[in-house]
Structure formats: C-alpha cells, structure tokens
Structure 1
Amino acid sequence: MGIFSSPNSLQKVLGAPGVEGKSVTKLTKGGLTEFIQSIIVKTEEMKEPFYILDLGVVMSLYENWTQNLPMIQPFYAVKCNPEPALLGALAAFGSNFDCASKGEIKAILALGVSPDRIIFANPCKAESHIKYAASVGVNLTTFDSKEELDKIRMWHPECKLLIRIKPPLECKDVRELSTKFGALNEEVLPLLRSAKGLGLNVVGVAFHIGSAAKDSRAYREAIAAAKAIFDTAILLGMPKMYVVDVGGGFTADSYFNEMAPVIKAALQDYFPNEPGLSVISEPGRYFAETSSTLVTNIIGKRVRGELREYWINDGTYGSFNGIPRDNIRPTITCTPIACMSNPSNPTCKELCTYKATVFGPTCDSLDTILKGHQLPELHVNDWLVFKEMGAYTAAGGSNFNGFDMASTSTYLAF
C-alpha cells in the first residue's frame, strides 16, 4: 500500500489549505457523469460552465511521481493552474512551488506554505517583485543574463541563484521555451564570472526542455550540460554547486514512465554519489491536466444539411485558449450530456451521430473549438463535457467580449 493509499488519505485532502471547509464529493468508480448531472440539476437556472477537480487523481499522480522519481522534489508550476484547492492539496502531499511573480508568491504564502518551499523561477523579474521576494524570505531564483544579476545584486543580494541554460536538445511538441529563456553555451562562463565578481551565490543549474516533451534524450543531454557547468564553477574558484533543476514538460501518460528511468540513469551517470545534491523539478501540466474536467452549456445551434453547429458558453478566449496558442484542437474530445432534451438517455448512447462544429461564445469567428467532430443530435441547454482540461485553461483565459471567466466555478471531488 502506498503512502497516499492509506485510509487517512481522504482526511489528508480534506484538511488541506484551500480545501478545508469546502464540499468534496466522494466519487465511486465511473461516478463522474452522475456527479455532473447532479450539479446541472442544482444549477439549472445559472447554466454557467464549471470545472470538476478530482483531488483523488492529484493524489494518485503525486504517489506515482514519488514512486518513479523519488530523488526529485517537485515544485509545482503555479501558472499552470492556480486553483487554491489544487495548490492546497499539493502542499499537503509535500510539493513545493514554482512561482513566477509577486502575485503567485502571495497566493502560495496565503496557504500557509513556508517561503523556503518556493522557487522564484522567472529568469527576468520586475524590480518590485524581487524586492517583495526578499521581504518575505523567498531566497531561490533563476537568471540567464548579466542585467538580471545586477538587479538581484541591488535588491536581493542574499538570494541563492540557479543559472538557467538553453538545453542542448529541446523538444518542440507543444511550446519551445529557449527563444525567450536560457543562457547559450557561450554565455555561461561570462555569466558565472559576473556572478562571482558581484559576490552572488550561484548554487546550481536549471533548464526546461519544453512543454509536453516527448523526447527523453533531451533530459539526458541537459543533465550532462549541467554537470559540465558544475565543473566549470569549481575551476573558477566558486563554491561547489548542489542543485539541479530539471524543469517541467512532464505529462501524466506513458511518456512519463519512459522519461523517468532515463532521467534517473542520467543523474546516476553524471552525478554519481554526489554528496548533498538536490534535484528539483517544475511540473505543472503533469499534476493539473488530467485532474480537471470542464462542463459547458450549449447556448446556440444551427443545422446546415448534415452539419450540426453548436455554440457553447466557453471558448478560445476562455478555457480553450490553448487552441490558438498551442494548436491543441486535434487532441480535444468531448462527450454530451443531454439531460434536458433526452432525460431517458442523457449520455446519448448508441444514438446516430452527425458531423459537428463547436464554437465559443464570442463574436470572433476564430473562436472555434472543434471541427468535424461526431456528435449526436443535441439541443440548446444540453451540455458538452471536456476531460483533461486542467492545464493552462482557466489560468490563461480572458474576459474578452464581456464573458467573465470569474463566473466559472470549480467543484471538488475525490
């Protein structure tokens, strides 16, 4: 039995900051649809989109992480999904946090998390945010330029630093990050010399191979590059480094199981028996994506021959902002709940389907979620359910055209 599979697991979740005092529905296996229907009935007049966050999934993912990568301490990337219940549950399980701004640091501290469990993992920070981090005791951050070192020297000189490097091999499956962040190989030595000259304490190396990465070789090559920088620092007469930050890019699928042994082997090969070595990571999507389900209401319909066109009350300016940003449309699937128009068969099992287009609610024609998707005959006030919608969804939404993301509620399940 895993440490999170004990009879006290539910109590651990219920007592977590951000969760305590809130209603958490315990689901039976396969009970998600029934739970969704119960919410729809209770909120029949509102008909706003809503999320279901399954804290049991979060717990299982954390246990899977500790089993497969026990030597790596996760620092959850708050930007991925800042839902307080998710943050609180992760804090209770033992996760630390990757914050990129003053606002994110405040959100984590408000949950009672100690500042020494936060990395300010933004290589380019506003001076006011650096000052705030110093004032609250957040004492670990990243840099990749001489100008950033000058700001840190001025406003937070006691902060420990990780040099953020461009990985030798970067995955480009979803989003390439090195165009914006990461010191080039030829910039590393001058930056280390600058840090030493300024009296700053560089304690390690950070990298990020790209979001939703699928190539495990990228981790191995980046870990090898980190070791070379450790050795360079010693040659420069700097204190021995002891932190390797392997970044994020993890997904909660078979790729994680492929990546984990490669990362473990690379750490063993390049940092064998390294005393005092601390290996950390910044997963966001891994914990958030599969733990949340989005439920949307059909607010409009048009029939053109065999084509069915539906409008729903969330779109690419809201939870589906990843479509224009990351081109995720091919991976999106949805299932209907027609409890209003077809109460005897709300899940529309074995019904004839039609080619359908699903639009978002705004007046922008680019606000299109699905094209050519097979759906049964649905009607206004029926619902569409989208699974695996917890990563970079509501967090990246806007209020364009007057559609308020704040009206999207989150219900908790376990």
Structure 2
Amino acid sequence: MSTGVTVQLEMAGGHSSVSIDLYNSVTTMDDLVQERVSRLQAYEHDTTFIIANIGTLYSQLSKWKELMPRVKPFYALKCNNDPVVTKVLADIGLGFDCASQSEIEQILQLGVHPSRIVFANPNKHMSHLRFAAQNNVDLMTFDDICEVLKIKQSFPNARLLLRIKTRRHFRARHTFNKKFGCDPCLVRSLLIQCKQLSVNVVGFSFHIGSLPEENSYFTTTIADVSDLFQIGEELGFRMTILDIGGGFPGVDTEKQSFQKVAKEINEALERHFPTSRGVDVIAEPGRYFVTSCYTLAVQVMSKKVVAESFEANDQNVKMNEHTIVNEHIIVNEHSHQNGHIYQNGCAPDNKLTLDSQSEHTNGDSHIITNGHTSANGHIQVNRHTSANGHAILSNLDTVEKHRFQNGLSHENGRIERPDHETAYVYMYFINDGLFGTFSNVRTDQLVARPSFLKDCDTKAMHTSILWGPTCAESDCVMKECLLPELRVGQWLFFQNMGAYSVTQACGFNGIEPPLKFYVCDQKTWDLISHEIDLAASQG
C-alpha cells in the first residue's frame, strides 16, 4: 500500500508542483484503485479517475537502453501529452517527436533543448515552420517538393529527413502509406531537386505502421533504406540520421514483444548500418512508453437487464431487438389491443403477435416469458396470457410472489438463473466512454478488458454490454462480453490505457475528463530523482 509519503514534482513554466504518492513494492493495482475509491467515497465523489504510474516510464526507458542501446527514442507526444508524463520523460533524457507548434511549445517550456525535438510532420503550417525556425527546432521531415519549397522559404537552414513509403503488403492496425511518404522509386528525382534548391537533407525516416502484424517489417525497411542512403550520398548529401519511426508494442503479447522487435532491429542495423557508417539512429515510440502508465477506474452508473424482443415465426419466436425488463422479469397487469404484446409500452409498430396456438387464457393477470429455447434455438413465449390475451413487459418492481417465477431466484440482490437460460443480457452504463478515455477502443479497435476489486463475485458470468455515459448509441465500450453481475455504484478498472486515450477525448455531451492521481514505487522514484538531479547539474 501507500508508504504515506507524497513527493512534489516541480513543473516548468511557472505551474504549481504536482503531488506523487509513493507506494511500496508489494502494492498491487487492486490496492491502489481501492485506496482511491475509498478516498472518493469519503467525499461522495463518483468521478472516473486515472492512476498514472510514472514508474513505468522509467522502467520502459531502462528496458529500451538495455535491449536497443544504439537507437535514441524521441517520444511521440501525440500519443499522450499529459504534462506530468512529458515532464518526467524530459527529465530522464528522452527526445520528442512533435507534429505542431503547440506540441513544440509544450516541450520547449519544459526546458528541453531544441536538438532533442524532431518536427515529424511531413505537411506543416507555414506559421509552424516559422516558429520552428525562431526556436531553432531544425530537424524535420518532408516527403515531396511542395514541402521542400515551404521549408526553403521559412527555414532554409533546417536539417531534413525524407520520409519514404514502406512496402505495400505491410499490415498494421494503422497504416500511413496512403497519406505520407515518398515512393522509393521517386527518391532520386526528389533528391536531385533538393540538391538544386541547396537544402540540407541529412537522412531518411519511415513508419511501418502502428500496431504492425510482423516484426520483420523493420528488417525489410531498414534494408530498403540502406540503398536509398547510397543514392543520397552519390548526389553529395551527407547522410547521418536514420529515423525508424514507431510501431513498438506498448505491452508484450505472445505474438509480439519488445525484446523480439529489438532483436530484429539490432540485427538489421548491424548488417546495413554498422557503426562504422557514421549514421545516428533515432525512433519515435509512443505507445511503448505510456500504454502501461495509465489505469482507468470507472463506476457503474446504471444497470438494465434486457431480453431480446420476439418476432412471430410459425411456432417459434425469434430474438430480435432488445426489450427492457427488470431484474425480476414481471409483466404489467394492464393489457391493450387484442392479440398483441407490447414491450414496455412501445408503439404499435413494435407489437409482438402471438400465434393462435399460444393464445390460451387462464384468467391470470400476467404473462411470463419462460426463457426456454426451441430445437432451433429460438426463444418461445410461455403459452399462458392474461384474460384478454395481452400484456405489456414492464420495469415495475416485482412483488415477493414472483421471486421464483420463470426459473429466476432473487437472493441478496442477485439473480440466479438456470444454465439453459440465454435470453437475458446485462447492460451497464459506466461514467467514461468512447468519446472520453476509451477513445482508443474506437480508433485502435482495442478490446477493453476490465478488472474487478476484491468485493466482486466473479464466479458466475453473464452476457453483458458496457455502455459509455453519452447519448450516442455508438458509445459502446464492450459488446457482448462475459462479466460477473455488477451492481450500481460498483467500481471496475482497465489497465494499459495510456496510449491514444486522453489525447483523442472530445468531451461530447459535456462529460468531464477523469481525475488523475500520480503514483510511483519508492525504489523507482529514487532512481528518477537521481536522473533529474543529474540532468539539472549538467544544465
């Protein structure tokens, strides 16, 4: 748990310091989330929050230096521009990949030297180029003659990296060949024009794609670029920088790990760019550094149990759209319009017609769906209806006599149903969604995987849906997943949420961004503090 020690990280630009809570090495994320939940509940807050573990930033850099020491990382600020995250990354020595004047300003305000910034946007505003020139941020990318002419006008002394397209068969979650890059077959002619304009081309850059499918893409592209370096050298350019871009995994998986990627890159560099060639190698990792930094905690705001609505089809009833029911599945005692069932008071065009064989009456005042499936898997309606053969599904609270109807038992606020019951889906509404921190679910097709605090019974799992808090039906965080039954007010948390989450959030419907709590384990903080002190002593 927390050591009870809070340190202050001094922010640049006159901003106030930020508190970082230190914890001991045996503390789990479950412990950290539960501790914050307890604090919030004491003040009756129900705001979603992020635990930002800045210790992971240092750990990732240590791994990078160990496994790929020759490649200098320039962190891609677009991935996560959290001021505390960027402050720590700057203090421990990273360079930065910036794509706009605003991003460059943020990094310069941290006291970062301009030589530690690459302006890695092949298509830049003229005003942004002028700002870069005024602040001597001179390393930048381009991919066509139009950009060269702009740079020649605004920043003639800039050092240029020609970004090339990678091979067309490369597959990744996000590919960039359509929008960016010079085709390798056009490199010679473009470099000839650069020579005629007397601009300073110093190397090449590429990007194999974000979340690539194969580590070998680095090997192939490094080999391709080696040939292009020779073209530049033949034309009289002094080629000294190779930028291998991004595409590094944020977390290791069975298929891809940073260790495997680093091995591929090291071998390719040794083969095609040995140190004797005099080429400095840089990269633009984003998600590698920050994915594991963020853990997002959310609260269940609302809960519905839904059944699939029924569509008459011979003697079977097909599942169609969701019908809202309450946890006890009862039927309103009111009935309307002969021969039809209405879902929770829906309009007549949503009516559900019972076939003639099912319209037996017994004087009962309600109809219950029995939840059993027919041979072909269709849900059937119980063949007892109210006196006039009609009913409306209702969300009204049940009474005690309904506790065991339809095979459902309600004990201690939970629902137990037979193993063969498949008709009902649990819908939970949480206080963050696709227009907020879960924006990476939409853009990365990320599969969000929740974790639960110790008070959650995870023995029984149910088909569930997690909805975000906005009015948009597209705001769905998890579709058709298996979750334990959750209660309103319960907290769950999602790890590895640091990449392309907060930077893409838009605040739709006025949903507020999450609170942030910064933490670090005591041992790692001591190492970070040493790096900060060392950097300060070196100016």
Could you say which residue in structure 2 is the equivalent of 1:325? 443
SS in 1 for 2:242: strand
Write the distance in 2 (CA, Å) between the matches of 1:208 and 1:170.
Answer: 14
Residues 1:413 and 2:519 are matched in the alignment:
yes
Q: Does structure 2 retain, via aligned residues, the 8 Å contact 1:247–1:283?
A: yes
Q: Does structure 1 retain, via aligned residues, the 8 Å contact 2:98–2:117?
A: yes
Pairing partner for 2:461 from 332, 338, 353: 353
Could you say which residue in structure 2 is the equivalent of 1:37? 34
Could you say which residue in structure 1 is the equivalent of 2:326? none
Pairing partner for 1:278 from 260, 277, 280: 280
Could you say which residue in structure 1 is the equivalent of 2:23? 26
User: Which residues in structure 2 correspond to 1:38-187 (within 5 Å)?
Assistant: 38-44=35-41, 45-168=44-167, 171-187=170-186
Residues matched between the structures, number: 392
Which amino acid counterpart does residue 122 of structure 2 have in structure 1? P
Pairing partner for 1:370 from 460, 478, 498: 478
Write the distance in 1 (CA, Å) between the matches of 2:483 and 2:6.
Answer: 40
- TM-score, with structure 2 as normaliser: 0.69
Larger Rg: 2
Q: How big is the shift at 1:275?
A: 4.3
Residues 1:396 and 2:504 are matched in the alignment:
yes
For the structure 1 residues 272 and 28, does the alpha-carbon distance in structure 2 shift closer, same or farther, using more than 3 Å as the test? closer
Tell me which moved more, 353-362 or 297-306.
Answer: 297-306
SS in 2 for 1:388: coil
SS in 1 for 2:177: coil
Q: How big is the shift at 1:323?
A: 2.6
Task: Please identify which structure carries the higher helix content.
Answer: 1
For the structure 1 residues 155 and 170, does the alpha-carbon distance in structure 2 shift closer, same or farther, using more than 3 Å as the test? farther
Q: How big is the shift at 1:168?
A: 2.5
Identity percentage of aligned residues:
35
For the structure 1 residues 215 and 19, does the alpha-carbon distance in structure 2 shift closer, same or farther, using more than 3 Å as the test? farther
For the structure 1 residues 255 and 302, does the alpha-carbon distance in structure 2 shift closer, same or farther, using more than 3 Å as the test? same
Q: Does structure 2 retain, via aligned residues, the 8 Å contact 1:296–1:385?
A: yes
SS in 1 for 2:212: coil
Residues 1:314 and 2:432 are matched in the alignment:
yes
Write the distance in 2 (CA, Å) between the matches of 1:222 and 1:16.
Answer: 39
Q: How big is the shift at 1:130?
A: 0.7
Write the distance in 1 (CA, Å) between the matches of 2:288 and 2:241.
Answer: 22
Which amino acid counterpart does residue 215 of structure 1 have in structure 2? E
Residues 1:297 and 2:299 are matched in the alignment:
yes
Q: Does structure 1 retain, via aligned residues, the 8 Å contact 2:6–2:21?
A: no
For the structure 1 residues 14 and 399, does the alpha-carbon distance in structure 2 shift closer, same or farther, using more than 3 Å as the test? closer
Q: Does structure 2 retain, via aligned residues, the 8 Å contact 1:169–1:222?
A: no
Write the distance in 2 (CA, Å) between the matches of 1:392 and 1:221.
Answer: 27
Q: Does structure 1 retain, via aligned residues, the 8 Å contact 2:52–2:295?
A: yes
Write the distance in 1 (CA, Å) between the matches of 2:137 and 2:104.
Answer: 8
Could you say which residue in structure 1 is the equivalent of 2:491? 383
Which amino acid counterpart does residue 21 of structure 2 have in structure 1? V
| RMSD, matched Cα | 2.2
Write the distance in 2 (CA, Å) between the matches of 1:410 and 1:129.
Answer: 31
Q: Does structure 1 retain, via aligned residues, the 8 Å contact 2:6–2:22?
A: no
For the structure 1 residues 226 and 63, does the alpha-carbon distance in structure 2 shift closer, same or farther, using more than 3 Å as the test? same
Q: How big is the shift at 1:273?
A: 3.5
Q: How big is the shift at 1:385?
A: 0.5
Which amino acid counterpart does residue 160 of structure 2 have in structure 1? L
Write the distance in 2 (CA, Å) between the matches of 1:363 and 1:258.
Answer: 43
Q: Deviations over 1:239-258 (max 9, x none)?
A: 22010000001013152111
Q: How big is the shift at 1:109?
A: 1.1
Write the distance in 1 (CA, Å) between the matches of 2:101 and 2:515.
Answer: 25
SS in 1 for 2:182: coil
For the structure 1 residues 123 and 182, does the alpha-carbon distance in structure 2 shift closer, same or farther, using more than 3 Å as the test? same
Q: How big is the shift at 1:80?
A: 0.2
Task: Please identify which structure carries the higher strand content.
Answer: 2
Could you say which residue in structure 2 is the equivalent of 1:196? 195
